[in-house]
Structure 1
Amino acid sequence: MSEMAKVASMRRSPPACFDTIEHLEDATAPDYLTPAQRNDFDMAREFLQAYTGSLGTFTSYRRDVERLLLWTWFIAEKSLEELKRGDIEDFIRFCQKPPRAWLGDHKTPRFHVVDGLRQPSPDWRPFVATVSKSAHKKGQLPDKAHYLASNSAIKQLLAITGSFFQFLQLEEYTVANPVALIRQKSKFVQKRQGHTSVRRLSQQQWQTLIETAEQMAEEQPQSHERTLFIISALYGMYLRISELVASERWMPTMNDFHKDHNGLWWFTTVGKGNKERQIAVSDTMLAALKRWRKYQGLSALPTPADNTPLFPLHRGQGALGNTTHVRNIVQGCFDRAIERLAEQGHRDEAEAMMDATVHWLRHTGISEDVKTRPREHVRDDAGHSSSAITDRYVDVELKERHKSAKMKKIRSD
């Protein structure tokens, strides 16, 4: 590829390849591809179809596989089977700091409808520069000129593209896995001593949030009894947002709360990797369920036959099925709690809470419980694949380490 052609490719953004899960099966290779590149497209579509059971996983895999395809076709001007170890290293460097033409400053739908047909959106970009929630609220805009992919993003990129090439190798589409041949991945991914801190709410932030949710429910029960129960479930049962909403794989219903032969209450959910798990229901979570059901005019606790939606829509029939809707519900409560903290003079706490997301509630619930519950119990309720993940939430050692360092002196008096 000539240097002039490469510069031209960097000055314009390529179109999206893959639409949403619902349209993946109907996806066809773009006309501009060579025959070999069309085979790349078909193999990538087949690979992605194995991950349609989980929206979050599909979204991550689609993002990085699509970036690989676009770089291969538009920058390297090759097909997947031609890529070598050096090409993959060039691709990773490209993703660390992509050209500005490939960068957007906000998320945009990949496809839109034109004359009844779904077409790639001209506003979509393969990469998106973002700012923190607190910076966004202050009017700060994303800085595309200084965009640099995070360490975790590159680590995930290596994992996903490595898995993709492993699939291609097993399918005998490629001879080798060029990602596996990169022996010094440390030059792309920095190693970290110890475990990273978990982003969570402080005790004061959480207490203010739950009190705010209770106050909102008292003032406007029709709008916020559901808000209160959602926040209680996210914290009290460590739920992910995807485990709250209805999807093709499952819909949370009232009888997902059930009592065993010992009279103990459990909640059944379907989490990451389409894995079902049972979560032990605490007395306070059971009380939250009773309050939620009482508001809806139902009996105190569900029967095995009660398959009504756990989170029904406020208007119309059916269940809450939009994660964005849930985020907006919780964010409204976050905003009120931040205002209360500021009014009470806790401006540092209010400022720090501006970056909080829905997932922080899961982290906060787990972090509080590992202080008093056996770690393996928290691990199983949280759906962690190993105890090592749960151990990330234990900060006792960090507190002791800081305590021992607190009185260190720089000079002798």
Structure 2
Amino acid sequence: MTHPSLPPAMPLFDNLLHLEAGNPQVNQYLATLSLGNVPDAGLVYELAVDWLLEQRHSENNYKTYRSELTTFLHWCFCEVAISPKDLTRRIMMRYLDYCQAPPQGLIAYRNVAQFVLDKEWGERLPNPLWRPFLGKRELGRELPYRLSEQAMKTKLAILSAFFQFLIQEEYMDRNPALLLQRIKRPDNKDAGEEAQSFTELQWSYVMQAAERLATECPAQHERSRFLICLMYACYLRISEVAARPGFSPVMSQFRRDSKTGVWGYDIPRSKGGKRRTVAVSQALLDALARYRTFLGLSSLPTPGEQTPLFVRHKAAAHGREQGELNANLGIRQLRDLVMAVFEQAANLVEQDGFDQDAAEMRTLTPHSIRHTGITHDINLHGRPLSHVQADAGHDSIDTTSKYLHTGNSERHESANHKPLDRLHE
């Protein structure tokens, strides 16, 4: 079999039908990058896929966003060998210059699919004819490539939205594209931050919904219940519990320290490729024991146990794990499980007359569980900021401090009885 030729710039994202199945050529490309100058290339790719999947209800949006991300990540990974989290405004300006005058070898003059089915190999492969830039011809003559002002604005808007997603996922802490946009937008930061997490009442309904679903249909929802418990207790991003190229979560990530006897949950690779171990509460250990007992396993995992953390109920229909049942779920499947619990919780809230809470809950996402866990531990459970910082994987205590919430009533109460002169009362 002749090894297929590859295009000079690697397409990364297949169409929506095949995106989550993964692609061996892309996986190999990412693995090579990760071992070289861009160690977090795989993580960036996973986050990009997660963001693109949010556009799956609009095929036109998906294609537009995919095209821009592919070009941008090719430039980051191959042209300048930089991680997106290290971008500055000045470096972003270099990218815009690159897009206005791309290498001639990366310009095509007819639109072709990024991936094609290779009959000899029996799999979808990067199309060797594909190029990231599309030029124009006039009367059979190739015109000089140019990017219109509107196309540049669209490019910046898409990248700005992607960077905002990466900030929410705590992969990066600034938006270099936003700095270059000339359109000023109102600052709704405070409202946005407040809307990212569940209130104490709303979260109680989420837990009730998870429990009710698990009781009514354990075969389907014991898994969902434990997923909710784990993400809340350990402040997990959904990408940290999902299968992805090069990583498959297993039970032995729950580890007991032989010296202290305490349990932790090991996250081998997170934001920026960092590793962290999260302290495990007794309540989460109890939830783990319940879940494992349901699966027919011992109550707690043994060292080195390779049992998948969240197994499929039906064998995969396509992709790397086609036909396998005992395999982990990916990001999209886990997100669907979480959103089903959220919807059930919103319905329960609505039935009890809390219509506004139900409406708010329906705007939240799986990432809101991480925000909620951090917020509750700081403001309700009284955990020290330094402990929460370590478990959340925050680089700075300043990031953790942003989760300190003080409502108007609490501020008034604390101010109501303060004296003007403590020594003269």
Q: What TM-score do you get using the length of structure 2 for normalisation?
A: 0.58
Q: Tell whether 2:350 aligns with 1:342.
A: yes
Residues 232 and 369 of structure 2 are in contact (CA less than 8 Å); yes or no, is this contact kept in structure 1?
Answer: yes
Of the three residues 353, 356, 361, the one matched with 2:361 is 353
Change (3 A) 1:249 1:282: same
1:210 has 2:207 as partner: yes
1:126-159 residue CA offsets vs partner (Å, 9 max, x unmatched)? 9xxxxxxxxxxxxxxxxxxxx9948953866999
Q: CA deviation at 1:342?
A: 1.1
Deviations along 1:140-184, whole A, 9 cap, x unmatched?
xxxxxxx9948953866999xxxxxxxxxxxxxxxxxxx99x9x7
Q: Give the Cα–Cα distance (whole angstroms) in 2 for the partners of residues 278 and 207 of structure 1.
A: 26
| Aligned amino acid, residue 56 of structure 1 | E
Answer yes or no: is 1:243 the counterpart of 2:240: yes
3-state SS of 1:279 partner: strand
Residues 394 and 111 (structure 1), Cα distance of their counterparts in 2 relative to 1, 3 Å cut: farther
More moved, 294-303 vs 311-320: 311-320
Residue 345 (structure 1) shift: 0.9
Distance 1:114 1:70, change over 3 A: same
Quote the Cα distance in structure 1 between the aligned partners of 2:292 and 2:92. Answer: 59
2:92 and 2:292 mapped to 1: Cα distance? 59
Which of the residues 252, 255, 262 maps onto 2:252? 255
Match of 1:392 among 397, 402, 405: 402
Q: Name the residue aligned to 2:46.
A: 56
Worse-matched range after superposition: 61-70 or 391-400: 61-70
What is the Cα-based RMSD across aligned positions, in Å? Answer: 4.6
* Structure 1: gaps spanning 5 or more residues: 1-15, 28-42, 72-82, 93-108, 127-146, 160-178, 406-413
The answer to whether structure 1 residue 318 and structure 2 residue 326 are counterparts is yes
The equivalent residue for 1:153 is: 161
Structure 1 residue 232: deviation in Å?
0.4
Q: Are the structure 2 counterparts of residues 53 and 197 from structure 1 closer, same or farther at C-alpha, using a change threshold of 3 Å? A: closer
Q: For residue 303 of structure 2, what is the aligned residue in structure 1?
A: 304
Residues in 1 aligned to 2:37 and 2:408: alpha-carbon distance in whole angstroms: 42
1:197 maps to 2:193: yes
Call closer, same or farther: CA 1:157–1:70 in 2, change over 3 Å. farther
C-alpha distance 304-153 of structure 1, shift in aligned 2 (>3 A): same
Please point out which of 19, 43, 49 is paired with 2:13: 19
Alignment deviations for residues 291-333 of structure 1 (CA, whole Å, 9 cap, x no partner):
1111112222122142212222224543323111001111111
Secondary structure (helix, strand or coil) at the match of 1:252 reads: coil
Note the residue ranges of structure 2 that are not aligned, 5 or more in a row: 1-9, 15-22, 52-64, 76-90, 101-112, 134-153, 168-174, 315-323, 416-425
Distance in 2 of aligned mates of 1:369 and 1:84: 38
Q: Which one of 339, 364, 370 corresponds to residue 378 of structure 2?
A: 370
* Structure 1 residues 212-291: aligned runs within 5 Å: 212-260=209-257, 261-270=259-268, 271-291=270-290
Q: What are the Cα deviations for residues 329-356 of structure 1, in whole angstroms up to 9, with x where unaligned? A: 1111111111111111111111111111
Distance 1:307 1:379 in 2: 29
| CA separation of 1:54 and 1:402: change in aligned 2, threshold 3 A | farther
Query: Equivalent residue of 1:52, what SS?
Result: helix
Q: Which amino acid aligns with 1:308?
A: T
AA at the equivalent of 2:282: D
Letter in 2 for 1:385: D
CA distance in 2, matches of 1:193, 1:110: 38
Question: Do 2:202 and 2:361's aligned partners in 1 also have CA atoms closer than 8 Å?
Answer: yes
Whole-Å separation in 2 of the counterparts to 1:55 and 1:399: 44
The 1:188/1:299 distance shift into structure 2, 3 A limit, reads same
Aligned length: 303
Give per-residue Cα distances to partners, 1:362-410, cap 9 Å, x unaligned: 11001111221111111111111222221221222777668899xxxxx
